[in-house]
C-alpha cells in the first residue's frame, strides 16, 4: 500500500494517530529515499509536538527493525545486554560486560561513539593500542561463544532506518522527542537479538533527560516497547548530576575501569556496575553474586580475553594528553557540588569528544576529578586535572568550568540508583 508523505505529515501535525500501514510505509519509503529528508523532518517535528501513543511507538520501532537484518544469537548461555542513555564519566559498559560474562551470561554489547558532552564507549576502547570496533557478524558470534562478551560497533545491516533518521533528528532539533528516542534505542537493541535488556536511564545536568519526570517517561516508554516485542526488560533511573567516577574522557576512563575490574576504583562506579549486573543476571535467570565475582578478579580475566580477541593489548600503556593543567580549590571547606554537564563539556573541548560524528577524538584528552562532593578540600589543593594534546583548548575548557563547583554549604547529592522500572 502506498501513501502520500504530505498526508502522513498532515495527519500527525493535526494530532491523529498514525495507522500501522502509514508507519510501515513512511519508514520503508524514507529508508529507500522515496520520502525526502525535508518531509521526514516535518514529520519528526510533528511527532515532537504531538507525541505518539504506545502502540504507534511500538509499530514505529518494528518498522525500523524491519528496515534491516536481525541477528540470531545462538550461543549456549543466556544473552543479556545493557544500554545507557549517556552521561559524563559513564564507563560502566567496560567493567560490566566482562563481569556479567564471568557470571555465566553472554553479553552482546553493540555500542556507539560520543557526540557532544557525553562520551562514547567505542571512543574509549579505541584508546587501547590495537583494539578494533568493527566486527563481522561471524566474529561477534565466535567471540560470544568463546569469551562470553563482545563490545563493538553495530553492523551496517542493523536498523538502517534508525541510522538515517537519527542523523536527521540531530540537525533538526527533534532529538528530545521521547517516542523517537525510545524507538531509536529499542530498534537497534531488539535487532541485536539479546533475550534480555537492562536500561540505564540517566537523569540530571549531565544527562539528556534533565528532570526525573522526563527520565521516568522515557524509561516507561522503553520498557513498554521491550514488553511489546517479547524482550525481558527493566530500567534503572540513575543520577547524572555529578560525573560518574573520577575520570572523564577516553583512556582515563579505560584506566579507571581496569582499576574496578582489579578490585579497586571509585565507589560509585563499583556500585552502579554491581547494581546493573545484578539486574542483568536476574533477567537472564542466573544466580550469582556479581560483587563477589568482581572482587575475585575473574571479571578482569574476561576483560583481558575480550580485548585480545579484538586485537588489543590489555597490558599496553594507555595514551596520556601531552599537556596538563591543574584547577585548584580557591578556598577551604567541603566540596558541596560538581556539575556533570560542565565537566563533560570541558572534556569535550579538550578533545575527548566531537561536535560532529565525523570529528576525530584525542585518546589522551580528558578531566580527572580529584575531589568529589562530600570531600574536604583546602585552598590551593588540586581539584581537577585537565589533559589535552592541544594546549590552545585549555582556556575554553576553563571557561566552561567557571562556576561548576561549590565549596561550602549543603552537599547536593542523592542516591545513585533512584528507581527501577520493570516490565
**Contact between residue 223 and residue 259 where contact means Cβ atoms under 8 Å apart:** no
The catalytically annotated residue of 59, 91, 163, 188 is 188
Quick check: helix, strand or coil at residue 276? helix
Distances 66 to 82, 159, 190 between C-alpha atoms, Å: 22, 7, 11
Interaxial angle between packed helices 178-192 and 54-65, expressed in degrees from 0 to 180 and rounded to the nearest 10: 40
Alpha-carbon torsion angle 343, 345, 349, 351, nearest 10:
80
**Contact between residue 321 and residue 364 where contact means Cβ atoms under 8 Å apart:** yes
The yes-or-no answer on residue 13 being catalytic is no
Distances 299 to 97, 103, 419 between C-alpha atoms, Å: 9, 8, 26
* Ramachandran bin of 176, using left for φ above 0, alpha for ψ from -120 to 50, beta for the remaining angles: alpha
Q: What are the residues facing 79 on neighbouring strands?
A: 106
Distances 404 to 118, 205, 246 between C-alpha atoms, Å: 17, 11, 15
* Ramachandran bin of 312, using left for φ above 0, alpha for ψ from -120 to 50, beta for the remaining angles: beta
**Contact between residue 387 and residue 367 where contact means Cβ atoms under 8 Å apart:** yes
In terms of C-beta distances under 8 Å and separation of at least 24 residues, what long-range contacts does 211-216 make, across chains too?
A: 212/237, 212/418, 214/178, 216/419, 216/421
Distances 331 to 2, 337, 370, 413 between C-alpha atoms, Å: 68, 14, 15, 21
The catalytically annotated residue of 123, 162, 259, 339 is 162
The catalytically annotated residue of 67, 184, 187, 241 is 184
Closest by CA to 335, choosing from 410, 402, 223, 230, is 410
**Contact between residue 318 and residue 128 where contact means Cβ atoms under 8 Å apart:** yes
The catalytically annotated residue of 59, 83, 113, 246 is 83
**Contact between residue 307 and residue 126 where contact means Cβ atoms under 8 Å apart:** no
Task: List CB contacts of 19: < 8 A, sequence separation 6 or more.
Answer: none
The yes-or-no answer on residue 83 being catalytic is yes
Rounded Cα–Cα distance for residues 329 and 102 (Å): 41
The yes-or-no answer on residue 70 being catalytic is no
315-349 CB burial, b ≥16 within 10 A, e <16: eeebbebebebebebeeeebbbbbbbbbbbbbbbb
The catalytically annotated residue of 12, 169, 246, 349 is 169
The residues annotated with a catalytic role in the active site are: 83, 162, 169, 184, 188
Amino acid at each position: 500500500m502506498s501513501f502520500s508523505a504530505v498526508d502522513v505529515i498532515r495527519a500527525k501535525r493535526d494530532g491523529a494517530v498514525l495507522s500501522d500501514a502509514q508507519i510501515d510505509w513512511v519508514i520503508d519509503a524514507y529508508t529507500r529515499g522515496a520520502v525526502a529528508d525535508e518531509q521526514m523532518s516535518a514529520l519528526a517535528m510533528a511527532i515532537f509536538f504531538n507525541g505518539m501513543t504506545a502502540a504507534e511507538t511500538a509499530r514505529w520501532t518494528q518498522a525500523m527493525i524491519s528496515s534491516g537484518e536481525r541477528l540470531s544469537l545462538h550461543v549456549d548461555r543466556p544473552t543479556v545486554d545493557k544500554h545507557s542513555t549517556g552521561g559524563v564519566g559513564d564507563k560502566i559498559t567496560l567493567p560490566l560486560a566482562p563481569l556479567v560474562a564471568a557470571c555465566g551470561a553472554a553479553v552482546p554489547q553493540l555500542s556507539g561513539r560520543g557526540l557532544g558532552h557525553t562520551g562514547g564507549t567505542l571512543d574509549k576502547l579505541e584508546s587501547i593500542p590495537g583494539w578494533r570496533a568493527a566486527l563481522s557478524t561471524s566474529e561477534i558470534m565466535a567471540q560470544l561463544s568463546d569469551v562470553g562478551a563482545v563490545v563493538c560497533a553495530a553492523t551496517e545491516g542493523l536498523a538502517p532506518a534508525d541510522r538515517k533518521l537519527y542523523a536527521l533528528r540531530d540537525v533538526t532539533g527533534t532529538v528530545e522527542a521521547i517516542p523517537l528516542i525510545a524507538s531509536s534505542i529499542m530498534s537497534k537493541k531488539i535487532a541485536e537479538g539479546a533475550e534480555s535488556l537492562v536500561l540505564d536511564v540517566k537523569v540530571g545536568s549531565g544527562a539528556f533527560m534533565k528532570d526525573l519526570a522526563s527520565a521516568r517517561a522515557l524509561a516507561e516508554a522503553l520498557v513498554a516497547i521491550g514488553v511489546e516485542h517479547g524482550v525481558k526488560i527493566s530500567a534503572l533511573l540513575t543520577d547524572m548530576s555529578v560525573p560518574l567516577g573520577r575520570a572523564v574522557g577516553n583512556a582515563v576512563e579505560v584506566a579507571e575501569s581496569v582499576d574496578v575490574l582489579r578490585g579497586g576504583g571509585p565507589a560509585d562506579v563499583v556500585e552502579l556496575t554491581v547494581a546493573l549486573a545484578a539486574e542483568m543476571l536476574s533477567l537472564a535467570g542466573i544466580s550469582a553474586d556479581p560483587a563477589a565475582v568482581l572482587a575475585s578478579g575473574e571479571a578482569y580475566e574476561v576483560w583481558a580475553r575480550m580485548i585480545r580477541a579484538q586485537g588489543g593489548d590489555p597490558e599496553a600503556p594507555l595514551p596520556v594528553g601531552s599537556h596538563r593543567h591543574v584547577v585548584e580549590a580557591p578556598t577551604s571547606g567541603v566540596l558541596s557540588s560538581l556539575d556533570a554537564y560542565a565537566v563533560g563539556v570541558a572534556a569535550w573541548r579538550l578533545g575527548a569528544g566531537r561536535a560532529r560524528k565525523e570529528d576525530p577524538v584525542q585518546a589522551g584528552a580528558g578531566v580527572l576529578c580529584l575531589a568529589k562532593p562530600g570531600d574536604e578540600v583546602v585552598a590551593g589543593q588540586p581539584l581537577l586535572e585537565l589533559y589535552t594534546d592541544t594546549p590552545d583548548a585549555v582556556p575554553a575548557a576553563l571557561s566552561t568550568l567557571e562556576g561548576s563547583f561549590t565549596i561550602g554549604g549543603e552537599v547536593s547529592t542523592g542516591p545513585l540508583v533512584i528507581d527501577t522500572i520493570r516490565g
